[in-house]
Structure 1
């Protein structure tokens, strides 16, 4: 019997969806509608066009765009051409984009109309010979003139994509995604989200971020419908949900807070049940309660660029449905267990030994599995440092509960050591978020002559809802120990990365600036 092995590739999900569900709507993008047969044809046209632009096997193709159907097409057209996809954060500046183009070795850059000038400038600053393809008439002409092409992947361990980290602690690193890893991670996301051919997925999460946590491929694997959304706002999100009967979406905590605010009664979501995957900072129980009131069933996910997106999922157990709401919300705010294609998650001490599952002892999360990057592009030293013993160290500190579920308490670099006591910013932030006037909160350390460090809280209020430092102190004293209450509070919008994460390093810099803020 001949060996029946076939290399895995997430691009093959489109081939199958077109064969089985060719007449179903695959993509909704404003007034544009594409069936799976349309998407398959356009992806193969893009592959032919890229080869016509002298793309060779393993060459990089960068895409600079917000969520549009052309970005989805690139997730299939680039691997169909045997190329490697580099989705670029559309909120970066020209110098940052130029660095990514230079480091990745991209020779082609596809850009949306609104980012055309930025793309041209970044290409010039990269000092590389880059062909810039503008989405619109130029892009469509290339597709119309191209020969259909679809390469057969022979090496599933080869790169399908390179994703760049946010660079909050230094220059962004290029994280390699293999065909095999992306294929398996996409299946895990489809499985855990419960995607089917009747699902409609709203793109509130940027497709450039970890390839949309691999939902760019997962939704297609299930033959669901992608609904593209370029600009995320509360009214825009709810408009798309109601217009297209959206069943699934993913978001950063800031987006969840936006669409489930605490300053008004629920005015959307009545009678709906929408699965929402939330990554980033742990959602506060108060935010989860507001989301539930709007028909949003939140599942907390945990991951990083190095893990193809969510590697840990708070897998809900039906026996928890009988618990009081407050207890359910506390359970829902945990990070959970490894997803279905990952190795069991470990929490280890500095010696690499597993900590006890007592919900108290802190350790660092360590990960291994098919959905862990094979390495950083052109940076073997960083790869070896991140994976000292075959397990990827994430830099996140967590406890393990007796039931095996993990719960993040802080980033290792964000722990506040005050008078010899370790204060976790997450605990203080969640207590702050329980206040109805607090939309977002970030707690960082400020040097203190007496205590070494003391916490300072930065607060983003809900709308125009007034709240004072004294009110928040009183609120916190009912929930946490007095020594954990921040010494000072500052109010205003929080600085964020393009993926919605709060930039705590920027807040720390603000505290150290000569003209720096003097919190209340």
Structure 2
């Protein structure tokens, strides 16, 4: 279908077919904007020529250290220049980039390093202790550690490992980048929490990264030379592909290590940041910032927000401050944003307040790169577009992962019927806009972080006083929602709320720790299944 009846001699060659990869954009940017500022972080200011040179040295240094094509290089870094450089330098030596959540505890970190078979880790000094603890628990050979000092933030190296700048010095400035021979080759590995508590390794390919980034240029209505502020952690879906996107437009990446209202307002006012992405909690930080931390600026800042629908009050407060907020929706498995709440000015220009926020709270329509996003029932039939009939969000397209590393069963399940199954429950309106109505599998999203309720429950069940527990989301003004534990105690045992929270905090990352513990008999069905929907109702009233 679609072939000419005679295509003799019309074949793919090196002249007419080149694998798509975001690596090509940095090569291009160095050629046409060599002196334009590429990366900014305090006194660290690198042009595209300098950025390309540092990336080249990193790729060469990794190859000299024994990293081969297909190996995994991990990072434990905040949003600092080395993290941006790794997004190009790691794949430029043929390796696969694995940016690890810096908030994870040693046990999960150890699992990821083993599962990914990591060869090298670039690590910020503040995470060296947890990395060391993780490596001591590894089954595989521990990776080579490169310590990335951050003098601008006053974070000095421990001195037990080679420092990043010295490592770059070992690299060859004339190193030839190893470009993919096939755009299906893997570019990144990202771990996402599963319902069992153990993360799954989501594999990205060069084609998906290229097309997802390019699609967001269209959705975000970008023009040349945007100034992008890195609020989305680069360990979240590779920062939603935004770091790969910047060289395409000759943009400037403004790195931000610590997400504070002052840092954001200063970047907007002083560095003229034009775009950033972030969870609704970031918007709340700006709205509720002390007056002495707020800054005046003379341009509109475009914001992508995701993780949970922004509250109407938040939208009503932040837009008059100079921010235009667009909600996007996606998962780690979709390279970040897969849908956008496109604002149809012809229909909604007159909406204000809660009515405007209600529309902006929708997850919206497919972004370029997703061929189809639809709400379906269990039989894979589209639900009626009535804004009331619930189904599961499913999607297909180039912006969907290759699959889960070393987990063919989970991959088959995720792709059943030829669609990626998101696990999110939604309705579809008559204008095709999608809106999430619930979350499947009891995942809690707190400040943009996914938390498995099963994992938290497993930890609390390990306390000697606990007989049974269930964890659900409790609405929270700051974080969107936080874990709330409902606990049945063993007879004769009386551990208090503070003790159980401390018990969990010692075994879990801080953001996974329950913020509230309620002692009560858990509601159950006749077969003994805990009725979490009842607990969610109770949590909303706390």
TM-score under structure 2 normalisation? 0.77
Work out the CA distance in 1 between the residues paired with 2:105 and 2:473: 29
Q: Is the alpha carbon distance of 1:101 and 1:12 closer, same or farther for their aligned partners in structure 2, counting shifts above 3 Å? A: same
Q: How far did 1:267 drift? A: 4.7
CA shift digits 1:483-504 (9 cap, x unpaired): xxxxxxxxxx9x99xxx9986x
Gaps (5+ residues) in structure 2?
1-9, 150-161, 454-470, 480-500, 523-534
1:131 paired with 2:144, answer yes
Work out the CA distance in 2 between the residues paired with 1:30 and 1:511: 46
Q: How far did 1:512 drift? A: 5.8
Q: Is the alpha carbon distance of 1:404 and 1:5 closer, same or farther for their aligned partners in structure 2, counting shifts above 3 Å? A: same
**Which of 168, 186, 190 is the aligned partner of 1:143?**
168
In structure 2, what is the equivalent of residue 195 of structure 1? 222
Q: Is the alpha carbon distance of 1:288 and 1:176 closer, same or farther for their aligned partners in structure 2, counting shifts above 3 Å? A: same
Give yes or no for contact 2:146–2:167 (8 Å, CA) kept in 1.
no
**Which of 53, 61, 64 is the aligned partner of 2:76?**
64
Q: How far did 1:196 drift? A: 3.1
In structure 2, what is the equivalent of residue 338 of structure 1? 366
Q: Is the alpha carbon distance of 1:354 and 1:220 closer, same or farther for their aligned partners in structure 2, counting shifts above 3 Å? A: same
CA shift digits 1:11-35 (9 cap, x unpaired): 1111111111110000011211011
In structure 1, what is the equivalent of residue 61 of structure 2? 49
Alignment of 1:139-218 (within 5 A): 139-148=164-173, 149=175, 150-167=177-194, 169-218=196-245
In structure 2, what is the equivalent of residue 486 of structure 1? none
Q: How far did 1:321 drift? A: 5.1
**Which of 327, 337, 340 is the aligned partner of 1:300?**
327
Work out the CA distance in 2 between the residues paired with 1:174 and 1:247: 33
Give yes or no for contact 1:261–1:462 (8 Å, CA) kept in 2.
no
Work out the CA distance in 2 between the residues paired with 1:191 and 1:28: 24
Q: Is the alpha carbon distance of 1:263 and 1:83 closer, same or farther for their aligned partners in structure 2, counting shifts above 3 Å? A: closer
Of 157-166 and 135-144, more deviation after overlay is shown by 135-144
CA shift digits 1:394-427 (9 cap, x unpaired): 1111111111111111113459xxxxxxxxx99x
Q: How far did 1:103 drift? A: 0.3
Work out the CA distance in 2 between the residues paired with 1:344 and 1:264: 44
Q: Is the alpha carbon distance of 1:351 and 1:514 closer, same or farther for their aligned partners in structure 2, counting shifts above 3 Å? A: closer
Work out the CA distance in 1 between the residues paired with 2:473 and 2:233: 28
Work out the CA distance in 2 between the residues paired with 1:371 and 1:74: 21
Work out the CA distance in 2 between the residues paired with 1:234 and 1:456: 29
Work out the CA distance in 2 between the residues paired with 1:82 and 1:265: 48
Work out the CA distance in 2 between the residues paired with 1:501 and 1:360: 37
Q: How far did 1:371 drift? A: 0.6
Work out the CA distance in 1 between the residues paired with 2:209 and 2:510: 23
1:30 paired with 2:42, answer yes
Work out the CA distance in 1 between the residues paired with 2:411 and 2:472: 34
Work out the CA distance in 2 between the residues paired with 1:462 and 1:100: 29
In structure 1, what is the equivalent of residue 31 of structure 2? 19
Give yes or no for contact 1:312–1:335 (8 Å, CA) kept in 2.
yes
Work out the CA distance in 1 between the residues paired with 2:409 and 2:472: 35
Q: How far did 1:272 drift? A: 3.0
CA shift digits 1:284-330 (9 cap, x unpaired): 22211111021110010000000000011111222145322133222
Q: Is the alpha carbon distance of 1:313 and 1:461 closer, same or farther for their aligned partners in structure 2, counting shifts above 3 Å? A: closer
In structure 2, what is the equivalent of residue 448 of structure 1? none
Q: How far did 1:393 drift? A: 1.1
Partner of 1:107, secondary structure, is strand
Work out the CA distance in 2 between the residues paired with 1:343 and 1:218: 20
Q: How far did 1:462 drift? A: 7.0
Partner of 1:345, secondary structure, is strand
Work out the CA distance in 1 between the residues paired with 2:79 and 2:299: 24
Give yes or no for contact 1:119–1:132 (8 Å, CA) kept in 2.
no
Work out the CA distance in 1 between the residues paired with 2:291 and 2:45: 35
Give yes or no for contact 1:282–1:300 (8 Å, CA) kept in 2.
yes
In structure 2, what is the equivalent of residue 385 of structure 1? 413
Partner of 2:371, secondary structure, is coil
Give yes or no for contact 1:204–1:249 (8 Å, CA) kept in 2.
yes
RMSD: 3.3
Q: Is the alpha carbon distance of 1:64 and 1:299 closer, same or farther for their aligned partners in structure 2, counting shifts above 3 Å? A: same
Give yes or no for contact 1:14–1:221 (8 Å, CA) kept in 2.
yes
**Which of 275, 279, 285 is the aligned partner of 2:302?**
275
Alignment of 1:33-112 (within 5 A): 33-112=45-124
Give yes or no for contact 2:284–2:478 (8 Å, CA) kept in 1.
no
CA shift digits 1:53-105 (9 cap, x unpaired): 01111000001111110011110001110000000111111221111110001
Of 136-145 and 50-59, more deviation after overlay is shown by 136-145
Partner of 1:143, secondary structure, is helix
**Which of 311, 335, 356 is the aligned partner of 2:338?**
311
Work out the CA distance in 1 between the residues paired with 2:278 and 2:103: 17
Give yes or no for contact 2:96–2:188 (8 Å, CA) kept in 1.
yes
Give yes or no for contact 1:336–1:405 (8 Å, CA) kept in 2.
yes
Alignment of 1:337-416 (within 5 A): 337-414=365-442
Q: How far did 1:265 drift? A: 12
TM-score under structure 1 normalisation? 0.80
Partner of 2:421, secondary structure, is strand
- What is the number of equivalent residue pairs in this alignment? 452
Partner of 2:229, secondary structure, is strand
Q: Is the alpha carbon distance of 1:264 and 1:71 closer, same or farther for their aligned partners in structure 2, counting shifts above 3 Å? A: closer
Q: How far did 1:387 drift? A: 1.5
In structure 2, what is the equivalent of residue 420 of structure 1? none
Work out the CA distance in 2 between the residues paired with 1:33 and 1:262: 28
Work out the CA distance in 2 between the residues paired with 1:68 and 1:382: 34
Partner of 2:370, secondary structure, is coil
